[in-house]
Amino acid sequence: MAKTVVIPSELDAAQRAENELLAEIAQYGYSEASQFAIKLAVEEALNNAIKHGNKFDDRRKVGLTFDISADRAIVTVRDEGGGFDPGHLPDPTSDENLEKPTGRGVMLMRAYMDEVSFNEKGNQVRLIKKNV
């Protein structure tokens, strides 16, 4: 059964929500590698929602929805920002972006999760990790 946690646009609140999700994942026997992948992707998604989506605006909230089973974890992160086009992100591996401190979150999500998709507006990401 899916569970939704709504948090303020604060990084410490994101950490608490992430810990709640990870505790549930651990109950289903996900490997350490899968747990790490989920942790990394969810942390990136929550941080992006707070920093880039909601711009640390304490009037805006972030929703974290997770549906965990023995077969797969489905996690959705949604912010109240204007969204973005994930197809038009700068390549974080190109020479001019290598030393920039940001810009790798979506790349990491795609590298570590089995499926990553965004809604049309670009203010919601859906992450899926299979438990294999």
The model's pLDDT over 60-115, given as tens digits with 9 standing for 90+, comes to 999 999 999 999 999 999 999 999 988 877 676 677 766 665 667 899 999 999 99
Query: What does CATH list as the number for 3-130?
Result: 3.30.565.10
Where are the chain's structural domains? Answer: 3-130
The model scores a pTM over 0.85? yes
The model's pLDDT over 84-97, given as tens digits with 9 standing for 90+, comes to 988 877 676 677 76
Angle subtended by helix axes 11-27 and 32-48, to nearest 10: 150
Task: Tell me the CA distances in angstroms from 97 to 20, 24, 88, one per residue in order.
Answer: 34, 36, 14
The model's pLDDT over 19-41, given as tens digits with 9 standing for 90+, comes to 999 999 999 999 999 999 999 99
Sign of CA dihedral 28, 127, 35, 52: negative
User: Where are the extended beta strands (E) located within the chain?
Assistant: 3-8, 61-68, 72-78, 115-118, 124-130
